[in-house]
Copies of this chain bind each other. A is one copy, B any other.
Amino acid sequence: MWSDMASKLVSKLFRSSLLTQAAPPPSSKLLLLQGRCGVLAGTAARLSSSGGPPERISRYPVPYRKNLPYDIVELMEEVEAKGGFLPNVFKVLSHRPAEFRAFFAYYNELMNKDTGNMTKADRELIVVATSIHNRCLYCVVSHSALHRIYSKKPTVADQVIVNYKNAELSPRELAMLDFAMAVCRCDTITEEHFRSLEEVGFDREDAWDIAAIAAFFAMSNRLAHLTDMRPNLEFYNMGRVPRDKHKEKAEDQH
């Protein structure tokens, strides 16, 4: 029967696939930039290793690292080493290693780049605006931190959280968020949407980027709601206060 055959085939293929293999080559780590933001903001206190009881960060069990596949542990360690703390999304999603890999591969592809007309700060702003619409605590708190870091504007994310319509945004940013919100609400996208983007300088590839980010966080927000994912305390204040110039210089020399 085709159905059984297919199941076995899928299973076999998937076990051996590049996405799930047990021992990835050393270089195959996803370096996630938010890992290092803590260092930058000088707030990388390891609050989760404090003396009190560990804070609950997920409704689902968070695996011990020793029980996780090697490639996932290696990724976590790199992120933690560079960023000063490990964002809870890594811990929470490691409950499902295969989904973890697909999630972060997708995430990395959409967020960690400055291509086309889209800066990293732009990308974070889309996440903030759509995630507040979806009332996602984890994504709003962590990505507004990242926006503060990337944009060096400490209050814009807070304004967008309340109401992007009257935040201190350029017409370009406003058009970007209008389109992101149309995708976020699952509006039927029409040529009119693309025209509005073109008026402020975004081409169709930028439109794909904006929409794909809004779409990806439509998924992420819902996974955060499922797991009741809690943001690391570090995120709340990250990027709010300008760092001491001297201290910053010292850190850069490391």
Contact = CB atoms under 8 A, between A and B. Distances in A.
Contact of A24 (B18, B39, B211, B219): B18
Contacts of A212: 96, 99, 223, 226
Given A18-B28, A154-B236, A208-B226, A162 B165 contact: no
Given A137-B163, A225-B189, A101 B112 contact: no
B225 A187 contact: yes
A36 B96 contact: no
Given A19-B19, A28-B18, A113-B10, A241 B252 contact: no
Nearest to A189: B225
Contact of A226 (B19, B82, B141, B215): B215
A125 to B, nearest CB: 16
SS of A interface (majority): helix
Interface in A202-238: 204, 207-208, 211-212, 214-216, 218-223, 225-226, 228, 233, 236-237
Given A13-B27, A102-B105, A154-B237, 10 more contacts: A6-B33, A19-B109, A136-B162, A137-B166, A140-B162, A141-B158, A155-B233, A161-B162, A184-B222, A186-B222
13 contacts: A7-B112, A7-B114, A10-B31, A13-B30, A16-B27, A17-B105, A102-B105, A102-B106, A132-B162, A141-B162, A166-B228, A215-B218, A218-B222
Interface of A: 1-2, 6-7, 9-14, 16-19, 21, 24-25, 27-31, 33, 36, 39-40, 60, 82, 95-96, 98-99, 101-103, 105-106, 108-110, 112-114, 132, 134-137, 140-141, 154-155, 158-159, 161-163, 165-167, 183-184, 186-190, 204, 207-208, 211-212, 214-216, 218-223, 225-226, 228, 233, 236-237, 240-241, 251-252
